[in-house]
A = this chain, B = another copy of it.
Amino acid sequence: MSLDKVLAKIDADLDQSVNRLLDLLRIPSISTDPAYKSDCARAADWLVEDLKTLGFDASSRPTPGHPMVVAHGGTGERHLLFYGHYDVQPVDPLDLWDRDPFDPEVQDTAKGRVIRGRGSADDKGQLMTFIEACRAWKAVHGSLPGKLTIFLEGEEESGSPSLIPFMQDNAAELKADIALICDTGMFEDTTPAIVTMLRGLLGEEITVYGPDKDLHSGMYGGAAINPIRVLTKILGNLHDETGRVTVPHFYDGVQELPDAIRAQWQALAFDHAKFLGDVGLSVPAGEQDRTPLEMLWSRPTAEINGIWGGYTGQGFKTVLPAEAHAKISFRLVAGQDPDVLRGHFRAWVQEQLPADCRVEFHGHGNGPAGVMSVEAPAFDAARAALGEEWGKPAAFVGCGGSIPIAGYFKTYLDMDAMLIGFGRDDDQIHSPNEKYDLECFQKGIRSWARVLAKLV
């Protein structure tokens, strides 16, 4: 059977595949830092050249930021689009890295062989699993596995400012039957996962102003309003005693989990004691009438991501400050409109403000939640393919984080997305000493070959 030949070719050529990935990892394509602009362009060019060797019609397409890589190839009835991103996170604090983040290598560890370096898991290693699957397929069959468009972004780690305009400008070219996205993880070490539920995000920054200058708390304390007192009073009300968010209308439109999904999640037997224990905690802190997986995947949250005001240095200063600040984010689920919620949140803050204070709001990014239509046949096909590779059925899971690209494909290209990835919880993405397990890389390539065999 020809799939077996493809899988055998993948295994036989693994060293070359790793070497190609190491080449790509050596390019420090940090998108958020303008100092690395030419490196981002270099990474895009590297991918274009590599895709051309597979017969793709590939090009690096300029944007106001970093270029997009777009490649078309193959033929077939069903048109698949693959999305990944070639940019990486900054590397600071650099002194916590055991080696140069951009001098990657394969290392033996107690838990197996790993590819160590910035971007190894997020997302260069993951995007190369798909390209290497295409390469092996081409080597065996002489052609690509169906009609493919490969779409690689260089601004994912810096807010994707060029993405929506580019998708709008090139909608006809990018529109396919389904999008495949490789930027997520396994459910746990040996259980593959397809993400079918993504939380959205709403970011807000608030500044509470009181007196028109910093005051001495001895001279004014007791008579003058303190903006930190006001801010803590307001934010201290953000959750009630049961962990529920108190902003009016916050839960409007939020649906209960369908019974089928609830049953499947129960079957996953999520070990929340280990999940929390790994970060020094033991008690799930969200809504007390929800399971930990619901807290993480299917329930909206409010978090204070930063707070500051007054004197924060060494020692003590009895200041009564003129202003106090906080950054707050909401993870959203299906049924919640970020723009509407922003209004509810602002009104809720405003209502709690004493007469002598005023508040300024600064909106940060927002994106709606995404829920995939798992009834589409591609999901069952992919689930079966992943199960064959890993020896365990793939889990349909939620993702607490926000991957807005899935929503954008739906909104701007009317295209469903399937998120399949092979990252593990200990990959240290966004952190020092990022790695990607060699097993995940190899079995990831094999997984894509199996998925493609079922989809084309």
Task: Show 22 residue pairs from A and B whose CB-CB distance is below 8 angstroms, ordered by the A residue.
Answer: A33-B314, A158-B316, A213-B431, A218-B399, A219-B296, A220-B296, A220-B400, A221-B301, A223-B284, A224-B276, A224-B279, A229-B303, A232-B232, A232-B238, A235-B236, A276-B356, A283-B356, A305-B317, A306-B310, A306-B317, A307-B307, A307-B309
Beyond A222-B295, A222-B299, A308-B307, whether A92 also contacts B313 by CB under 8 A is yes
Residues of A bordering B, CB below 8 Å: 32-34, 89-90, 92-93, 96, 157-159, 199, 201, 203, 205, 210-226, 228-229, 231-239, 272, 275-276, 279-287, 292, 295-296, 299, 301, 303-321, 324-327, 329, 331, 354-356, 364-365, 399-402, 425, 428-432
16 additional A-B pairs beyond A223-B272, A223-B284, beta carbons within 8 Å, are A93-B214, A96-B214, A201-B318, A205-B316, A210-B281, A217-B305, A224-B276, A226-B285, A226-B304, A228-B305, A303-B318, A305-B317, A305-B318, A307-B307, A316-B329, A316-B365
Instruction: Name, among A222, A224, A238, A272, the residue most crowded by chain B CB atoms within 10 Å (CB to CB).
Output: A222
- A201 to B82: give the CA distance in the assembly, Å: 62
The 8 Å CB contact of A235, one of B33, B225, B232, is B232
CB pair B313 A222 closer than 8 Å? no
CB pair A324 B296 closer than 8 Å? no
Residue numbers in B under 8 Å from A313 (CB-CB) = 32-33, 90, 92
- A247 to B281: give the CA distance in the assembly, Å: 28
- A167 to B312: give the CA distance in the assembly, Å: 31
Residue numbers in B under 8 Å from A217 (CB-CB) = 301, 303, 305, 329, 331
Residue numbers in B under 8 Å from A231 (CB-CB) = 232, 307
CB pair B301 A225 closer than 8 Å? no
User: Separation in Å of the A278 CB from the closest CB of chain B?
Assistant: 9
Beyond A213-B428, A276-B223, A425-B219, whether A310 also contacts B307 by CB under 8 A is yes
CB pair B286 A222 closer than 8 Å? yes
Beyond A233-B239, A307-B232, whether A430 also contacts B216 by CB under 8 A is yes
Residue numbers in B under 8 Å from A214 (CB-CB) = 93, 96, 430-432
Residue numbers in B under 8 Å from A203 (CB-CB) = 316, 318
CB pair B239 A236 closer than 8 Å? no
- A205 to B356: give the CA distance in the assembly, Å: 27
Residue numbers in B under 8 Å from A225 (CB-CB) = 281, 283, 285
CB pair B303 A320 closer than 8 Å? yes
Residue numbers in B under 8 Å from A229 (CB-CB) = 235, 238-239, 303-304
CB pair B310 A304 closer than 8 Å? yes
- A232 to B33: give the CA distance in the assembly, Å: 27
Residue numbers in B under 8 Å from A295 (CB-CB) = 222-223
- A311 to B91: give the CA distance in the assembly, Å: 10
Closest to A280 in B: B212
CB pair A34 B210 closer than 8 Å? no
CB pair A312 B325 closer than 8 Å? yes
Closest to A297 in B: B222
- A273 to B338: give the CA distance in the assembly, Å: 42
Instruction: Name, among A89, A223, A229, the residue most crowded by chain B CB atoms within 10 Å (CB to CB).
Output: A223
Residue numbers in B under 8 Å from A305 (CB-CB) = 217, 228, 310-311, 316-321
The 8 Å CB contact of A327, one of B157, B220, B310, B402, is B310
CB pair A400 B226 closer than 8 Å? no
CB pair A223 B285 closer than 8 Å? yes
Closest to A234 in B: B236
User: Separation in Å of the A116 CB from the closest CB of chain B?
Assistant: 15
CB pair A331 B221 closer than 8 Å? yes
Residue numbers in B under 8 Å from A292 (CB-CB) = 223
- A128 to B228: give the CA distance in the assembly, Å: 36
The 8 Å CB contact of A431, one of B93, B215, B232, B314, is B215
Residue numbers in B under 8 Å from A311 (CB-CB) = 90, 92, 305-306, 327
The 8 Å CB contact of A429, one of B216, B276, B324, is B216
